[in-house]
A and B are shown apart, each in its own frame.
Chain A
Amino acid sequence: MDTLHSLALGILTAASPLNLLYGFAGVLLGTLIGVLPGLGPAGAIALLLPLALHAPPLAYLIMLFGITYGAQYGGSTTSILVNIPGEASSVITCLDGYAMARQGRAGPALGIAAFGSFIGGTVALVGVAFLAPALAELGLRFGPPEYAALLLFGLTALVYLAHGPMDKALLMALFGSLLASVGLDPVTGQPRFTFDILVLRDGVGLTPVVIGLFGVSEVLVNLQAHAGEIFQKKIKGLLPTLQDWKDSAMPITRGTVLGFLVGAIPGLNVVIATFAAYAVEKKISKHPEKFGRGAIEGVAAPETANNAASCSGWIPLLSLGLPTGSVTSLIFGALMIHGLAPGPLFIKNSPDIFWGLLGSMAIGNAMLLILNLPLIGLWIRVLQVPYYFLFPLIILFSIIGAYTAAGNTGDVVIVIIFGVAGYLMKKFAYEPAPMVLGLVIGPLLETAIRRSLIMSKGHVTIFFQRPIAAFFMGAALLMLLSPLLTRRRLGHDIIEKLEEP
């Protein structure tokens, strides 16, 4: 009862005019970037990080959360109507969604995607409300060794589940944590790798790095991309028929459960949830041959799963302080900018923020449903804006974002350096997510390891003597060493198969 009461209070907090305004801006912006290929939620959040200094904490976080789930909605619209997934999490929706649109059933496809997303997001939200505080209680038993082991486990999980070779992902994670050690040493105050450059004394900021990695590099990669074919048919009727609802009821239920579970596991992401939900529906369907040819179940399940996973993906961050990917790392950074430390004490110390955020998700999901159905025509017109008008704006916002955060051009130079680095990383197939995670949790990991070693007088065995720490260290070591033993990552072949279109 306490949980439901707190959630109701959170909804009331989120319903204040200012929070509603920020929430509306977030979901609208999220939908827009979901529609536009080339700028994902991570890039948009990166561009908006400097705003953290000026906006009230809760309202600002509500906007960032709105961007993340708004992008899931927007991505599905373009997948269905023009066969262009605005987001990676909507790739699988193209298969049956676009096929439905070609058969003149774009309306039911969009409708079921919107309703499924609403149901998935809302049910997952209740799950988060119950599970996150329970996990946080467990997290209160964590001392420095447990926390260090948990952070190592989170970093290793992301490396293990990276799409490309694991050694490349590990290189990126290590490089990110090395970047994090630039600046003054947190314990002794001694400058490290600053080269007498004043800007580096405060460390390499998360904001300019992610703006470069996600904003600028996307522009550099996309400059030569061509716009796709635009769907010209008129959209008739957005509501699914009774038969559509009957066909979609169980896929929506299964998509919610699967999306929630996959999203809550550190390292697994929204994309995997959508592919898994689609694979399950195809496997258990009495008519698997209909999949790929306009089966509404093939839209309902992944679209529900992506919103449920996007919602439950906050559990590790909000309850244990463990970011699990680029977007959660950025939100972690945004919380830190406001002096809010995500972790086991977050819910206890900042209940207004935690429950306000959950409340905003409930309102945001409803807002998206009401907002998006009438605006579909507008989003399609947005898609037709030529890229050569968009890219100067993205570059300009990147520069302004970095400049306003620090008030000097030093951070703009960092944006340029990491823009080029991000471009080269994409060309040479190095993933940026482990690097960002390394940069974000590097200082926390270093502090936790150093405190643990001080506790144990220099003995590393402390990480293996305490049960919780030993569990996470064992799991991390298993993930790191298993490819040497099996020559393949456990389960990675399944992920690869699921991600094949």
Chain B
Amino acid sequence: MKREIIICSFWLLLSFYLSIESYRLGLSTANRPGPGLFPFIAAIAIGLIAVFRLVSSLRKSSPDDNFEPGIASETRLVLYVIAGMTAYAFLLDLLGFLFCTFLLVAFYLRVIAARRWPATLSFAAAVALASHFFFDVLLKAEMPRGLLSWLI
């Protein structure tokens, strides 16, 4: 139930904020629908459904949700994947496509999959080189070169 209350609160807050913003955009001018009308209707509908779900879950008064077994380790894995992606996004221009790809794949294989260093480094290098060849050379996708711009 606690989980449902948190989710419904999120929807309610979103609905509240977006309905105010939509109202500010303008609902109508001289019989012409304004830019805020459509999002306003959608935001209000979201709020109404969230209230409905909140009331239903409070009425049921079921015990607190049990956490699934292994949820902590799963969350850790998810955080690692997201951390890798985020670092990739912010370092791509600086370090370049080839080097970033190598680091990302090596990080995933070593930290998440717990592979040994030789397998990690050789697979990461193979993926980085193959991606560089496919996207940069073959498709001419113009990926950032970063630190290695003098070399490739």
Interface, chain A (partner B; CB < 8 A): 54, 167-168, 170-171, 174-175, 177-178, 181, 185, 187-188, 190, 192-193, 216, 219-220, 223-224, 388-389, 391-393, 395-396, 399-400, 403-404, 407, 409, 412-413, 415-416, 419-420, 423, 428, 445-446, 449-450, 453-454, 457-458
Contact = CB atoms under 8 A, between A and B. Distances in A.
- Nearest first, the 6 A-B pairs at minimum CB distance are A388-B113, A185-B35, A412-B89, A458-B31, A446-B38, A392-B108
A317 B140 CA distance: 33
A388 B115 contact: yes
Interface of B: 3, 7, 11, 18, 21, 25, 28, 31-39, 42-43, 45-46, 49-50, 52-53, 70, 73-74, 77-78, 81-82, 84-86, 88-90, 92-93, 101, 104-105, 108-109, 112-113, 115, 123, 127, 131, 135, 139, 141-143
Contacts of A409: 89-90, 92-93
Contacts of A389: 109, 123
Contacts of A415: 85
Counting chain B CB atoms within 10 Å of each CB, which of A174, A175, A420 scores highest?
Answer: A174
Instruction: Report whether over half of chain B's contact residues are helix, strand or loop; otherwise say mixed.
Output: helix
A450 B38 contact: yes
Given A171-B49, A423-B78, A450 B37 contact: yes
Contacts of B78: 220, 223, 420, 423
Nearest to B134: A400
Contacts of A457: 31
B18 A178 contact: yes
A174 B46 contact: yes
A287 B84 CA distance: 55
Contacts of A181: 38-39, 42
A220 B85 CA distance: 12
A416 B127 contact: no
A230 B29 CA distance: 65
A400 B46 contact: no
Contact of A404 (B43, B112, B135): B135
A171 B50 contact: yes
Contacts of A190: 25, 35
Nearest to B36: A192
B89 A192 contact: no
Contacts of B77: 220, 223-224
A396 B105 contact: yes
Given A400-B131, A409-B90, A188 B74 contact: no
B46 A175 contact: yes
Nearest to A408: B93
B53 A395 contact: no
24 contacts: A168-B53, A174-B49, A177-B38, A181-B38, A181-B42, A185-B35, A188-B35, A192-B39, A223-B112, A224-B70, A224-B73, A391-B81, A395-B81, A395-B85, A396-B104, A399-B85, A400-B135, A403-B92, A403-B143, A404-B143, A412-B85, A428-B7, A449-B38, A454-B31
A216 B85 contact: yes
B108 A391 contact: yes
Contacts of A54: 139
B38 A419 contact: no
A60 to B, nearest CB: 14
A310 B8 CA distance: 36
Given A171-B46, A396-B131, A223 B33 contact: no
Nearest to A212: B85
A433 B139 CA distance: 31
Contacts of B43: 178
Given A178-B39, A178-B46, A224 B7 contact: no
B92 A393 contact: no
B88 A412 contact: yes
Contact of B127 (A392, A403, A420, A454): A392
Counting chain B CB atoms within 10 Å of each CB, which of A175, A185, A392 scores highest?
Answer: A392
Nearest to B123: A389
Contacts of B18: 178, 193
Contacts of A168: 53
Given A170-B49, A174-B46, A224-B70, A193 B21 contact: yes
Nearest to B128: A396
Given A177-B42, A403-B143, A423-B78, A416 B85 contact: yes
A399 B70 CA distance: 28
A167 B48 CA distance: 10
